[in-house]
Amino acid sequence: MKNQTTTKQQQIVLVGNPNVGKSVFFHNLSKVYVDVSNYPGTTVEITSAPLTEHIHIQDTPGIYGVSSFNDEERVARDIILYADVVINVVSAISLERDLFLTKQLIDMGKRIIVAINQIDEARAIGLKIDTNQLSTILGVPVFTTVAITGEGMNFIKDAILKNIATTGNVDPVLKSEITELLPLVSNEAEAILLLEGDLVIAERHNTNPRNKRSFVYNQRRKEVNEIVTKIINKENKKERFLTKVSNLLIHPFFGVIIALFIAYLFLYQFLGIFVGGDIVEFTENKIMNTYYEPTIKKATGLFLPVEVKISSDTKDTTYSFPNGFLKDKINYTKLDNHIQNNPNIKTEFFFSPHDYIEKERYKSALSSNILNSLGTILAGQYGLLTLTITYLIGLLLPLVIAFYTALAILEDSGYLPRLAVLIDGLLSKIGMNGRAIIPLILGLGCVTMATVTTRLLSTRREKLIAMTILGFAIPCSAQLGVIQSLLAKTGGLIYWCIWFSIILLVLVATGFIMNKYLPGKATPLLIDLPPLRLPRISNVFYKAKTKVLFFMKEAVPAFFIAAFVVAILQVTGVLSKIILVFEPISSKLLHLPQEVSISFILGMVRRDFGAFGLTELTMSAAQVTVASVVLTLFVPCIATVAVMAKEQSWKAACAIWLSSIFLAVSVGAILARIIGA
């Protein structure tokens, strides 16, 4: 029998400060087979992947030091303690900050490889780094990289495979302190953490923490300052134009003006006018409605009962096919000739008495049976092969691509962290700090995903406030795009400003109220500003593609399920009854067509699906504005409610869901009377 030997899998761990490009660094190394999971007992996500059969690589949360102050640092600490090799990613333009963590890792006795990332940013400002001298001082291998382009990554991979990581040069003063504590703990890493006063390590070994954090940190800071002085040549360093722009973006006055201008360009001009108007006009009306849907309806009518109504300026003509087109070729030839000879007429297909339920005056001669119902389900107004496909491809896809491309540009340029700094003052007054702007902006893409990202906030109180605002006042990308398109085409800039102002007012008011009545207060903002840079096309494309695919993967099944349910309600007559039940709210309270109830029903399943229902109704500019406000404030979709329950509790999720209904209807009713809807 052949002897079998087992080789211990080597654990490689990426460690670094926030905004050093560590996640891009990880994906460049791992490429495929990435596993993302929550660290046990926390909501912190850990990304890992096999590099080779015997080498496994893990990415840790961005940290400024190894300690036990928050979930991110506790998770990173536990992973680092048991790592075989640490790859410490630092930024070439912030070595004064990043090398502090590097020195701590060296003091912990870990085998290290240092990767100076973003070296292209250093070159752009004339910053020269003596990497050979840095390697000599630290006593560990040092490489320069540009992770987003792959520059230098082959040297990192070779270093990992050749196992050249080494333990560094520990400060002699700290070395003696660490040596004294070694009998009490398992290794140098735990000794330095115990020396810094880490309570978890002290409790783990049933000893008292040595509260020498100030002494250790001062010693480490002194070392880092001396190192930076020796390895960095600042003679050629010059302030870039982008640095001046960066300062302008966080200015209390000019920064706000710029932020509002970006919102106007992004939401109204780009998403509303250009994409929601011009692009969607082509994809939805010129392609899907003109070519795709008539083809599908004709194909369905070949075998299933159908009535075709031809409308012109002078009269309406109806052609009935109780057994489908193929069983009545003579009548079908007449219909085809009529259409060919009158290219400007309007053609509508009816597959059952319940089809096109908003046309109350239309009396169908078709019976209500299984075949008729099947035609409506497949190719009716809410059909699986008609509206669902048209909406997904003709409307949703262009809007989602446009939104995530624009968001990727803002993200890759480094603008979002600056927006967090700019808006920190306002958000602190509503119970959060500037970091909360990240989930709020991500909510404009997908509220469900944004609800998950509330984990980056420090306290449960801040997470609950952000989650409530997401549920009340943040529309997802497709819903946002449809609403921007409707407002731009129907109401123009004035009505768009009304919609924007009300949503912003609700957002702020919600935060103020919750901040007043929830115990606790906002935590201070601690955030690192990455360099402001021109976005890279490849980076923007990758980010946008990843998020669009994720969104569509989630949205497509939900849309088909929602369309099927609504079609069943339609052919059974239940949908008509639901409209009548909601009629007092839609017509009398909100001054909207009663058919708008369908949008609210669909919005409970998917917010963006509900928004599409508005495009099928004829409304005035004031009515479009009221409907847009109500639908934006209306209930979070089912998926978001489920995630809210997981992140907080079912009690909190249900409270947000019910409160949003009351809020949406109340605000809509008041607005309808103010603007005369």
Mean pLDDT of 238-260: 79
**Which comes out higher in pLDDT, residue 527 or 116?**
116
Pseudo-torsion of CA 275, 278, 279, 280, nearest 10°? 90
Q: Are residues 635 and 606 in the same domain?
A: yes
Q: Are residues 264 and 159 in the same domain?
A: no
pLDDT digits (tens, 9 = 90+) for 570-598: 778 787 777 778 778 888 888 888 778 77
Choose the weakest-confidence range: 96-100, 147-151, 379-383: 379-383
- Would you state the pLDDT for residue 136? 94
- Domain annotation covers residue 667: yes
Mean pLDDT of 375-394: 83
Q: Are residues 454 and 538 in the same domain?
A: yes
Last residue of a domain, one of 233, 266, 285: 233
Q: Are residues 115 and 262 in the same domain?
A: no
pLDDT band at 409 (very low <50, low <70, confident <90, very high): confident
Give CA–CA dist 127/121, Å, rounded.
9
pLDDT band at 267 (very low <50, low <70, confident <90, very high): confident
pLDDT above 50 for 34: no
- Would you state the pLDDT for residue 36? 40
pLDDT band at 361 (very low <50, low <70, confident <90, very high): very low
pLDDT band at 155 (very low <50, low <70, confident <90, very high): very high
Give CA–CA dist 647/457, Å, rounded.
12
- Domain annotation covers residue 438: yes
CATH number for the domain spanning 101: value is 3.40.50.300
- Domain annotation covers residue 298: no
pLDDT above 70 for 362: no
What is the average pLDDT value for the chain, to the nearest integer?
81
pLDDT band at 364 (very low <50, low <70, confident <90, very high): low
pLDDT band at 502 (very low <50, low <70, confident <90, very high): very high
- Would you state the pLDDT for residue 45? 66
- Would you state the pLDDT for residue 609? 67
- Residue numbers of the domain that contains 556: 254-275+389-675
pLDDT above 80 for 72: no
Last residue of a domain, one of 180, 200, 233: 233
**Which comes out higher in pLDDT, residue 72 or 100?**
100
Choose the weakest-confidence range: 166-175, 193-202, 567-576: 567-576
- Domain annotation covers residue 511: yes
Give CA–CA dist 85/461, Å, rounded.
37
Give CA–CA dist 315/60, Å, rounded.
70
pLDDT above 50 for 286: yes
In percent, the amount of the chain with pLDDT more than 70 equals: 89
- Domain annotation covers residue 326: no
pLDDT band at 488 (very low <50, low <70, confident <90, very high): confident
Show contacts of 217-222: CB within 8 Å, 24+ apart.
219/171, 219/173, 219/174, 220/100, 220/103, 220/104, 220/107, 220/171, 221/100
Last residue of a domain, one of 233, 266, 292: 233
Burial of 524 (0-12, 13-18, 19+ CB in 10 A): exposed
- Would you state the pLDDT for residue 15? 93
Element (H, E) at 574: helix 574-583
- Domain annotation covers residue 383: no
pLDDT above 90 for 113: yes
In percent, the amount of the chain with pLDDT more than 90 equals: 14
Q: Are residues 487 and 602 in the same domain?
A: yes
pLDDT above 60 for 236: no
pLDDT above 60 for 31: yes
Do residues 66 and 79 make contact, with C-beta atoms less than 8 angstroms apart?
A: no
* Tokens of residue 343, six digits: 């290219």
Mean pLDDT of 31-49: 54
Please choose, from the candidates 351, 242, 358, the residue with its C-alpha nearest in 3D space to the C-alpha of residue 307.
351
**Which comes out higher in pLDDT, residue 134 or 395?**
134
Give CA–CA dist 276/461, Å, rounded.
37
pLDDT above 70 for 43: no
- Would you state the pLDDT for residue 313? 67
Q: Are residues 228 and 260 in the same domain?
A: no
- Would you state the pLDDT for residue 139? 93
Q: Are residues 159 and 271 in the same domain?
A: no
- Domain annotation covers residue 544: yes
Mean pLDDT of 272-292: 82
For 350, residues 6+ apart whose C-beta sits below 8 A from its C-beta are 306, 307, 308, 309, 356, 362, 364, 366
Q: Are residues 645 and 526 in the same domain?
A: yes
**Which comes out higher in pLDDT, residue 523 or 303?**
303
- Would you state the pLDDT for residue 513? 92
- Would you state the pLDDT for residue 41? 42
If you search the block for the tokens 């490429």, which residue do you land on? 31
Buried b (16+ CB within 10 A) or exposed e, 196-227: bbbeebbeeeeeebbebeeebeebbeebbeeb
The helix/strand/coil state of 486 is helix
Q: Are residues 217 and 269 in the same domain?
A: no
Q: Are residues 218 and 268 in the same domain?
A: no
* Tokens of residue 411, six digits: 């993200």
Q: Are residues 526 and 655 in the same domain?
A: yes
pLDDT digits (tens, 9 = 90+) for 328-360: 888 888 888 887 877 777 788 888 766 654 444
- Domain annotation covers residue 434: yes
- Would you state the pLDDT for residue 354? 64
The three-state DSSP-derived secondary structure of 511-529 is HHHHHHHCCCCCCCCCCCC
How many structural domains compose the chain?
2
pLDDT above 60 for 553: yes
Q: Are residues 222 and 260 in the same domain?
A: no
pLDDT above 90 for 115: yes
**Which comes out higher in pLDDT, residue 551 or 366?**
551
